[in-house]
Amino acid sequence: MIERLNNVDVERPIVENSLKIEKSRCIFRDAIFFDLEHYIYKKPICIGVFGCCFYDYKNEVLKVTQYMIENKKDTKLILRLAKEYFENMIKENKKYIVTFSGNNDFTVINYLFEKYNMEFNNIEDYFISVDLQKQYEKEIHKSIGLKALEKEFGITREDKVISGSNLAKTFSKIIKDSEYINRMPEVKKEKILLYNEQDIVSLFNIYTKWNNVFIGNK
């Protein structure tokens, strides 16, 4: 399994610009920002990449944690590490989990937690969910994808977007062939990890700059 810990520099967020939750309370200090890459065939098979971050207010960086599967044996290990990560965040008094279309990721990880008896069967029992896609639909009254929303915020990715189907094919090969990861170019592994990291960094940037873009559109 690949573990990647990274600090990502971000602008110091301004409370007035951030999306307000719970009677105008800004919650980025109490939140984690979460995204999965996964493989589903009729039912969830595995987590390909677990990605999560939180804002370190003192150092003005996002603390990013990622776990990427390298073979079938890693399926349970990633789940155990994900559970430990969530438990540590609870100890750190993180109360919210920010996603984009998070129900899909929750369905996958909750299913796998239950399948492997991880005793952490429903993330939303532990964190209050803030789904930016649902928030957009509520305020702007139309649907949108994450990449389109990034454009509205002027967010430019470092690399090309990877399609979900291509990611699923990669994770399928990893699950079926224990040596596949050794044949995979390092640059491809880095692209997958960077893609996931940019997803969760975008969640933070969109959340903390929400009113810059949408305050006049409500």
Helices 164-176 and 186-208: angle between axes, nearest 10 degrees: 130
Average pLDDT over residues 96-103: 96
Give the domain extent around 207.
2-214
CA distance 70 to 93: 32
For tokens 């903390």, what's the residue? 208
Beta bridge pairs of residue 3: 67
What is the predicted pLDDT for the residue at 158?
75
What is the predicted pLDDT for the residue at 26?
87
Average pLDDT over residues 27-40: 96
Number of structural domains (the chain) is 1
Tell me: pLDDT of 218 over 60: no
Tell me: pLDDT of 162 over 90: no
CA distance 86 to 97: 10
What is the predicted pLDDT for the residue at 25?
81
- Domain holding 47: CATH number? 3.30.420.10
Average pLDDT over residues 102-106: 94
DSSP per-residue codes, 48-112 = EEEEEEEEETTTTEEEEEEEE--STTHHHHHHHHHHHHHHHHHHTT--EEEESSHHHHHHHHHHH
Sheet with 128-131, strands from edge to edge, namely: 2-9, 61-68, 43-56, 31-41, 96-99, 128-131
Is pTM beyond 0.85 here? yes
Percent of the chain with pLDDT over 90: 86
Q: What is the separation of C-alpha 24 from the centre of its chain, rounded to a whole number of angstroms? A: 24
Using alpha carbons, select from 35, 3, 40 the residue that is nearest to residue 172. 40
Helix (H) or strand (E) holding 9: strand 2-9
Strand bridging mode 96-99 / 2-9: unpaired
What is the predicted pLDDT for the residue at 8?
97
Q: Is the Cα dihedral 165, 64, 129, 137 positive or negative?
A: negative
Q: What is the separation of C-alpha 38 from the centre of its chain, rounded to a whole number of angstroms? A: 11
Average pLDDT over residues 185-214: 95
What is the predicted pLDDT for the residue at 216?
53
pLDDT tens digit string along 121-161? Answer: 789 999 999 999 999 999 888 999 999 999 999 998 877 77
8 A C-beta contact, residue 65 and residue 53: yes
CA-based Rg of the chain, rounded to a whole angstrom? 17
